[in-house]
Structure 1
Amino acid sequence: MDIATTPTSPEGNPELADAAPTPHDPPVIRREDYQPFPWIVPQTELEFVLGIDSTRVTSRLTIKRNPETESISPELRLNGDGIKTDMVMIDGARFGDWSMDEGDLLVNLPGESHTVEIVTHIDPSANTALMGLFASNGMLCTQCEAEGFRRITFFPDRPDVLSTYRVKMSGPKDLFPILLCNGNKVAEGDGNDGTHWAEWHDPWPKPSYLFALVAGDLVANSAPFTTQSGREVECNVWVREEDLARTDHALQSLHRSMKWDEETFGREYDLDLYNIVAVSDFNMGAMENKGLNVFNTKYVLADPDTATDADFDAVEGVIAHEYFHNWSGNRVTCRDWFQLSLKEGFTVLRDQLFSQDMQGEAVKRIEDVRILRAAQFPEDAGPLAHPIRPDSYREISNFYTATVYNKGAEVIRMMRTMAGAEDFRAGTDLYFDRHDGEAATCEDFITAIEDGAGLELAQFRRWYRQAGTPRIEVSQKLGDGDGLDVTFRQTVPDTPGQKNKGAMHIPLRVAVHCRETGALGEEQLIELRHDEQTISLPLAGPVPVLSINRGFTAPVIIERELESEDLVFLAAKDDDPFARYEALQDLAVRHLVAAASRELDQAGRAEGKRLVCDAFRSILSDPALDHSMRGELMMLPSETYLFEAMAGSDPAGIRKAEPLEIHKEREQLKTAIGVTLKRELESLYAQVADIPYDDPAGRGARKVKTQIAALFAASDPERAAVMASRQFDQADNMTDRQGALMVLCGLQHPAREERLQAFYDRYQGNALVIDKWFTLQALSLHPEVLSHVKTLAEHADFTMKNPNRVRSLYMAFAGNPQGFHAQDGSGYRMIADVILALDPINPQTAARFVSPLGKWRRIESVKAGLMKAELERIAVTEGLSRDTFEQVSRSLDG
């Protein structure tokens, strides 16, 4: 599953959002308490009589005693949530000896095997939580991960209960002309009363969270794929008819994913059909249900007029992610939800490697690290910190996090780095061979990599159980011989519930260059295993400059005292693209954190700006850079990253982040770059301005144009307004149009309102593009952004019931430091009000808004008090969902 975190995250009737009253102290589920389910369910048969307002579900479960358990209890517990029981039958006879425990159905069955039949009714139209079976614009669809299947029928709704499914669905043919489910369609026909039916069979055992059903008025973009063994697979992308023209990229991405997985991981698809369905109301980004992936429309629909280059990349990456789950998640699933990173971390790595091959390794790696630092590093440093394999939870939906996904991918990437691509492949082959058709654990995966790749990973396992981002302090001196002696001191900071942590096993790619001669040293891989260790590295010349964590080998924070001129050298000359990017980031962070902390006098500020401008000049003029990489290097550290750098640079916790100071200093640095490098920026803009959309260099050119306009917005707003207006008016693609509007949104200029209205008029009725319209205004640098967001919340196109629309406005605003951190606390109050309004409608989405308020301990005292007060206001609200309660309580107590 892909979380709709934009830049990535997964997200009824209010009375049905939580079936049973939720106590303010929901039980804690612990990994150490895991026990296998006492029954197995080899076969599941489901029959649906479909209706928007009323759907009848009949389930027939073949159950047997689980020989792997010691339990002799006759009790069968079937999970349920907000569903009504019409009838229970055991072995063909009506059965009355059943009871309810909150939402669960309890039946006593003394025998060794039985057939359990249950009839239930549900109302999909009332399901605004969008978990289980729900209605979306006249169609029916499901979302069952993590615990949504229990909202459809009673079942042991846990990932280690695997069953084969046979499903029959029927309903009015005019409302639901297309009936889709997991597996292969085995029969279909028409009824005598305007209905029709279809029967589906999935031959591969799966847990209930992978069940999917879709019924609606859809059309398909179809093209077959021939596997490496010669089988033909029917591939379909199902959408509403008006969206069909925007599905070619998704279908092509699916075919590329299937081919790549065969060639790179040896995984061939195993059904006759592969269906993707786009849904406009969806909490998550997408879901990998076996053979029937349900997608947020955001990750399916794309054409040049409505989707940016980044949108095209996201569609390709998410299509790949869900397809790759067919093996890393479906054929081998996770034993329990504590093992979530087993499938998600591994699959994120697989989709990252795929995207590197499709788009280019250097730029993709920088993009992935930027996301990690924006989303996961703050998580590791805050009250919600947890290991990639958590030890406990209250609500599993809250652990679909950047730590489980993105850090989980980085941990597996480190194994691949140490093993090498070929041996890592041998390890993954062994993993799939050993555990095909099983519910496995993270330990199973690590052991397979050890055995298949020949690694020793005993200490490395700490990455799975220790939270927090390791910090590595680096010092160096010339050795007695021809080497540079580099000392590494590592610490893993305390996190909630974890202190005094052991040293991590950390691989790092390093090289030693020479600043005097420009000679570049040879890269080597070193492995850190101790709190402190010294390693001698070969010199490339008399003035050594250490290039460290090349390619971002490990998800760590490097603390080093390099001379600023060394950073300028690395930014201009390093042969590792990521190290070059990192040097420029370090240079900017060093200046901005010191300036925002009021540690620099006027001369120090001027010197810091000069050094950053010198590094930028080398980037703008380097003929060896392609424009895509140049555009990446031109991006200053985000204010979110600077917040973390400022708050985390003082281990004693005395220094607190000051978001408005960070914002002010970052804008001043942009002004300095725009003024100092005006001629170079104008020259570069002229070079890239007229590169056509379909030119291979066009993608990078579009990125560079927007970066230049953003710099001029700080240094010469009038010029920026003219430049952005011209770019907007002449744009033949969404990337240029959105980039220009982004710049204009931050300006106090008549062109702002004119182009915003023109954008809205052009795309009114296109939900995904209007989401962009909301987001651009909520993220803008305009001084009145808070007022703008309040006005947008009253707009006719805004609704709290669509997760994409809510995120487009309020999640964007929560990521806008200037507005969110308003001096009077009104930004915090706005987000707290959103949480309280959204929680009864869609608890999963509501809970994801808590994290920005949870940073109160790391911010200056006045704002900290205002943020904490809002969390406390939420915490005492009656009837708060489990999802939101857990996030708020951890944010206050962590």
Structure 2
Amino acid sequence: MLDALSAPALPPVLRREDYRAPEWTVPETDLDFALDPSATRVRARLSVRRSGAHDAPLRLDGAGQVPLAVSVDGVAINDWRLEGETLVIPLSGDAHVVETEVEIAPDRNTQLMGLYASGGNLCTQCEAEGFRRITYFPDRPDVLSTYRVRMTADAARFPVLLANGDPVARGENGDGTHWAEWHDPFPKPSYLFALVAGKLAVNRSSFTTRSGREVELGIYVRAADLPRTEHAMHALKLSMAWDERVYGREYDLDVFNIVAVDDFNFGAMENKGLNIFNSRYILADPDTATDYDYDAIAAVVAHEYFHNWSGNRVTCRDWFQLSLKEGFTVYRDQGFSADQGSAAVKRIEDVRGLRAAQFPEDAGPLAHPIRPESYIEISNFYTATIYNKGAEVIRMMATILGPEAFRAGSDLYFDRFDGTAATCEDFVACMEEASGADLTQFRRWYSQAGTPRVSASLEHHAGSGRATLNLGQKVPDTPGQTGKAPQVLPLKVRLFGSETGRPLSEEQLVLLSEPSMSVTFETVTERPVVSLNRGFSAPVVIESDRTAADLAFLARTDDDPFARYEAMQQLMLDTLIAATVEGRADHDAVVAAVADTLDGATSGELDAAFVAEAVLLPSEAFVGDQLALVDPDAVFRAREGLRRDLGRRLEARWRQAYDTGAGEPYSYTPEAKGARRLRNVALGYLAASGAADAAQVAWRQFERADNMTDRQGALTTLVNGVSDEREAALDVFYNRYADNGLVLDKWFQTQALSSRDDTAALVAALAQHPDFTLANPNRARALVGAFGVNQRAFHTEGGAGYRWLADQLLALDALNPQTAAKLLPPLGRWRRFAPPRAALMRAELERIAGTPGISKDLFEQVSKSLEG
């Protein structure tokens, strides 16, 4: 063990309770860039003002730049100093103009934070703390400034020069360079600063706002990618119109630009007037993008556009309030996506994502409230809890208050805090003021981590015609939080008659705010079955006394699409847990329920997209999450056994579902998407059945596909099996798309998610492939990230998967700490597994923790995983 003198200094912990308002504000910022990939000069002119009565010097954050000059009020000074990387300037007066000049090297910036090079272009990413890598500045979200930006660059190499706001002027210098000036009149924090310089083509269009202003729209990409931007442009216009109609929010600048780049740590960034996107969320055509990709592009375009108000015009006071902008905006983009197609299917997809990412987070060592109390590295808190659970908290508020009061509250919030940095408390207070509701207890959702567990039992008093629903709640302990108080849980419930199938009550919103309560229903004339948490009205785990027959009944008759889906999933889950724990493989109830659901698609009673979601089995990871200790092999055997039985016993129905819509030309409509989804699910079940012709059916689909959804669906089916067609399909797919990085990511990811016995070895070999690189976050996520969530392959006996992941994370940490830290959680859940797996996982965490020079990003995740 290291002694106190030789131990490395631990990164400081930042705490919400220590927040202090900034000592200096910066009302105006002028930036002058002399752009060069290897040596960019940045001159900053800051108008600074002392805030409050103090004599503290001006402290400007920095990271990695070379300081060249500092002046105050036009006079060069020498009494500035560096404390670590913070520039400290003593100032005597209350208002000054501070100028600095620094040099940075974008082409050596592998962290992809600040100004960096991607595909020959220069671009920025400043959230959360990347602006300090560009110039010295008080890099915190509560310092808002208006920006003027001038860029000078080689005209041939960087013909396009973009920044926030509206263009002001541009010109030629006569020496092969040119310049452009941009001005953003709206005060913004430094994390929203953006700049792009490069050789780019543009898809131009326009949008007329409800007040009659015409906004010029532009999507900038490489020239070859221009034809694949139409879907994103269409989604942008739909988003602008939707936000006007639903939230009354109109766009406020004369231009709105989007730029797509290949190297990006996030999905996209909402910089004011200049959104920068990971190219995977902009580029789409039927040959290269799946239906999921199309939907994701529309959702992310909407999300970043909606941030113009919920994030930009009103920003967050400090990073502990991150969910103020992200949770609210996810809720808004979910509403937009639900309005574009099937609201029921969208809700199912959102809940599946929540359960896959956020529920495990809430149950693991990295659990945190949607408003955290402390952190070491803020980038580690861009989590499913902040985004997805944050959205569910907003949804619950909207459910409790009702649509009119919620809209009034959001209007009040936007109007009151426009141009300022707000807090989560400010948002909730606006909802209270607009509605008259008391949300005091509801605020616990912001401070308590963990997924509440709700117990539910229904008593029927036949003689009196009365039924009683008994409810209880418990919020489990999480690291640093024990003995939690009850929360407000809005549960939508309804009773159905088990004999007639007719509703026995209206849908009722029950607010469970105590540890237990009972709800009485009158005039119940037959044995009732309760439909619980309809629409997933609260993000909780339900533990009920409903039998397999009750769940099968609800899967057939419930009039709430999500509740109907949920009943099927619970029936499947109960069956899989019984098989995993007890070795009891009684599949009859599931087979009958799936058969009924497939018949609903055939008759036209049920939407094909809904049926495709309902008949999918819960994932191996989700099954494992329900167990005290996860046995990956037992879970895999149970799930594969049920898949095989469903495939064999319902083979005729799967073939009928597969043939429905076959041969129809591609179209991107809800109906066509649903047909493709069900077709590919049916193909997977045919393969699981062991049908002799399954590989040939998949190969025919692969060869004849006129769209990526069907092509990748067939490839996935083949990759999970053993056949000559498997190898042929992988070769054809690779050769066809070798020059398309986004599609090649699918090639890597599909193999990393394979259920084959040898997946771990295949993934290790793929890491040596010439096209694999850790330098591109998309490629790293496609192979390393996908392997980490492949429960069976990652947990292969002997710990080879653990060692490989740890090696990749250490290598990635040297390049891009933010991405490395985000890929660590699969190792961090070591306590969920029995020996020897738990010991092997912990050993790899300790190896990472003991590696000299790891980033604070990775250190925080590893240390919490070992302690939690």
Sort the TM-score into its range (normalised by shorter chain). Answer: over 0.9
1:511 to 475, 481, 494: 494
Q: How far apart in 2 are the matches of 1:272 and 1:540?
A: 61
Q: How far apart in 1 are the matches of 2:575 and 2:472?
A: 24
1:98 counterpart residue number: 80
Please tell me the residue identity of whatever aligns with 1:100: L
1:616 to 583, 586, 594: 594
Please tell me the residue identity of whatever aligns with 1:632: E
SS in 1 for 2:530: strand
Deviation, 1:457, is: 0.5
1:528 to 512, 519, 522: 512
C-alpha distance 255-82 of structure 1, shift in aligned 2 (>3 A): same
Q: Which one has more relative contact order, counting CA pairs under 8 Å at least 6 apart?
A: 1
Please tell me the residue identity of whatever aligns with 2:161: L
SS in 2 for 1:140: strand
Please tell me the residue identity of whatever aligns with 1:871: L
1:292 to 255, 270, 274: 274
1:694 counterpart residue number: 667
1:682 to 643, 652, 655: 655
**Aligned partners of 2:460 and 2:527 also within 8 Å:** no
1:419-459 CA distance string (max 9 Å, x none): 11122111100000110001000000000011112321100
Please tell me the residue identity of whatever aligns with 1:553: S
| Residue 37 (structure 2) pairs with residue 52 (structure 1) | yes
Please tell me the residue identity of whatever aligns with 2:364: G
1:562 to 546, 551, 555: 546
Gaps of at least 5 residues in structure 2 are 1-5
1:872 counterpart residue number: 846
Q: How far apart in 2 are the matches of 1:321 and 1:287?
A: 9
Using structure 2 for the length normalisation, give the TM-score.
0.98
Gaps of at least 5 residues in structure 1 are 1-20, 647-654
2:726 counterpart residue number: 752
Counterparts of residues 249-288 of structure 1 (less than 5 Å):
249-288=231-270
| Residue 484 (structure 2) pairs with residue 501 (structure 1) | yes
Please tell me the residue identity of whatever aligns with 2:44: S
Please tell me the residue identity of whatever aligns with 1:659: P
**Aligned partners of 1:24 and 1:880 also within 8 Å:** no
Q: How far apart in 1 are the matches of 2:115 and 2:797?
A: 43
**Aligned partners of 2:632 and 2:792 also within 8 Å:** yes
Please tell me the residue identity of whatever aligns with 1:286: A
**Aligned partners of 1:512 and 1:538 also within 8 Å:** no
Counterparts of residues 826-865 of structure 1 (less than 5 Å):
826-865=800-839
**Aligned partners of 1:223 and 1:235 also within 8 Å:** yes
Deviation, 1:520, is: 2.1
Counterparts of residues 473-512 of structure 1 (less than 5 Å):
473-479=455-461, 481-512=464-495
2:612 counterpart residue number: 631
Q: How far apart in 1 are the matches of 2:30 and 2:441?
A: 45
Deviation, 1:695, is: 7.5
| Residue 362 (structure 2) pairs with residue 384 (structure 1) | no
2:150 to 168, 172, 197: 168
| Residue 525 (structure 2) pairs with residue 544 (structure 1) | no
**Aligned partners of 2:458 and 2:545 also within 8 Å:** no
2:188 counterpart residue number: 206
1:190 counterpart residue number: 172
C-alpha distance 677-720 of structure 1, shift in aligned 2 (>3 A): same
| Residue 754 (structure 2) pairs with residue 770 (structure 1) | no
Using structure 1 for the length normalisation, give the TM-score.
0.95
**Aligned partners of 1:728 and 1:741 also within 8 Å:** yes
**Aligned partners of 2:445 and 2:487 also within 8 Å:** yes
1:112-143 CA distance string (max 9 Å, x none): 11000000000000000000000011100000
1:620-677 CA distance string (max 9 Å, x none): 001210111111112110111111112xxxxxxxx31111211111000000101111
Q: How far apart in 2 are the matches of 1:317 and 1:41?
A: 34
Deviation, 1:684, is: 2.0
Using the TM superposition, name which of 400-409 and 823-832 deviates more.
823-832
Counterparts of residues 811-830 of structure 1 (less than 5 Å):
811-830=785-804
**Aligned partners of 1:210 and 1:290 also within 8 Å:** yes
Say how many residue pairs are matched: 857
C-alpha distance 539-871 of structure 1, shift in aligned 2 (>3 A): farther
Please tell me the residue identity of whatever aligns with 1:552: F
Please tell me the residue identity of whatever aligns with 2:642: L
Using the TM superposition, name which of 691-700 and 323-332 deviates more.
691-700
Q: How far apart in 2 are the matches of 1:716 and 1:182?
A: 57
1:672-694 CA distance string (max 9 Å, x none): 10111112212222223233322
**Aligned partners of 2:665 and 2:706 also within 8 Å:** no
| Residue 346 (structure 2) pairs with residue 361 (structure 1) | no
1:25 counterpart residue number: 10
SS in 1 for 2:693: helix
| Residue 28 (structure 2) pairs with residue 43 (structure 1) | yes
1:8 counterpart residue number: none
1:61 counterpart residue number: 46
Please tell me the residue identity of whatever aligns with 1:398: N
2:3 counterpart residue number: none
**Aligned partners of 1:513 and 1:540 also within 8 Å:** no
C-alpha distance 482-591 of structure 1, shift in aligned 2 (>3 A): same
SS in 2 for 1:439: strand
SS in 2 for 1:718: coil
Q: How far apart in 2 are the matches of 1:677 and 1:192?
A: 74
Q: How far apart in 2 are the matches of 1:729 and 1:539?
A: 60
2:408 to 409, 417, 426: 426
| Residue 651 (structure 2) pairs with residue 643 (structure 1) | no
**Aligned partners of 1:288 and 1:294 also within 8 Å:** yes
Aligned Cα RMSD in Å? 1.2
Deviation, 1:861, is: 2.1
Counterparts of residues 390-429 of structure 1 (less than 5 Å):
390-429=372-411
SS in 2 for 1:82: coil
2:56 to 68, 74, 79: 74
Deviation, 1:23, is: 4.8
1:727-761 CA distance string (max 9 Å, x none): 11110000000000000001110000001111111
Q: How far apart in 2 are the matches of 1:615 and 1:758?
A: 38
Deviation, 1:63, is: 0.5
SS in 2 for 1:196: strand
1:63-115 CA distance string (max 9 Å, x none): 11114xx5x12311100011110000001000101111111001111111100
